[in-house]
Amino acid sequence: MANDKLVIAADHGGIDLKNELVSRLRDTGYDVTDLGTHNTESVNYPDYAFDAATKVASGEFPRGILICGTGIGMSIAANKVHGVYCAKVNSEEEGRLAAEHNHANMLALGGRTTDPDTAWKAVHAWLTTEPGAGRHEQRVGLIKAKDC
């Protein structure tokens, strides 16, 4: 499997979904590094988002997945890391489009807002969809060129 190495992290609001996805990903043959959290004690989601996003931005991992209660906080934090393009998704179609149209190298999901089967379909679509060329590549290039 090309690019079968993934990093995943969650806060206390995403731990159950994270554990489910780690299991499904490993059963499918992905090499998953789980950065935690590993219990339901309250933690600061930015710490987990920054840890995983930094590993993706450095090239240590080609892609990563983040999960908090809604996925919103994790996506905002991850997108603060230069070189990370984290899409918050809610469906299989959004997972596919995050890869095809936006070339997202990270996904964020809501542990309290996304059921495991929907989350798995979104992740699987993202992992198995090739980034689109042409107008999509051009638009992603405009984003990458902007250095604020």
What tens digit of pLDDT does each residue of 80-110 get? 999 999 999 999 999 999 999 989 999 999 9
List the Cα angle 20/95/117 in 5-degree steps. Answer: 35
Query: Of residues 62 and 139, which shows the higher confidence score?
Result: 62
Catalytic residue chosen out of the listed positions 101, 103, 124, 148: 101
CA dihedral 17, 46, 131, 102 (to 10 degrees): 110
Does residue 13 surpass a pLDDT of 70?
yes
- Could you give the percent of the chain with pLDDT greater than 70? 90
Mean pLDDT, the chain, as a whole number? Answer: 92
Q: How far apart are CA 127 and CA 143, in angstroms?
A: 21
- Asked if the model's pLDDT at residue 3 lies above 60, the reply is no
Owner of token pair 């051009």: 138
Q: Does 124 participate in catalysis according to the annotation? A: no
The pair of three-digit structure tokens given for residue 25, joined into one six-digit string: 């990903």
Q: Which two tokens stand for residue 28?
A: 């499918």
- The single residue of 68, 103, 124, 136 carrying the catalytic annotation is 68
Domain ranges of the chain: 5-145
Domain 5-145 falls under CATH 3.40.1400.10: yes
Closest CA to 3 of 104, 107, 128, 123: 128
Q: 20 pLDDT band (50/70/90 cuts)?
A: very high
DSSP letters for 10-60: E-TTTHHHHHHHHHHHHHTT-EEEE----SSS---HHHHHHHHHHHHHTTS
Tokens 């989350």 map to which residue? 119
Contact (CB, 8 A) for 11 and 68:
yes
User: Is residue 68 flagged as an active site residue?
Assistant: yes
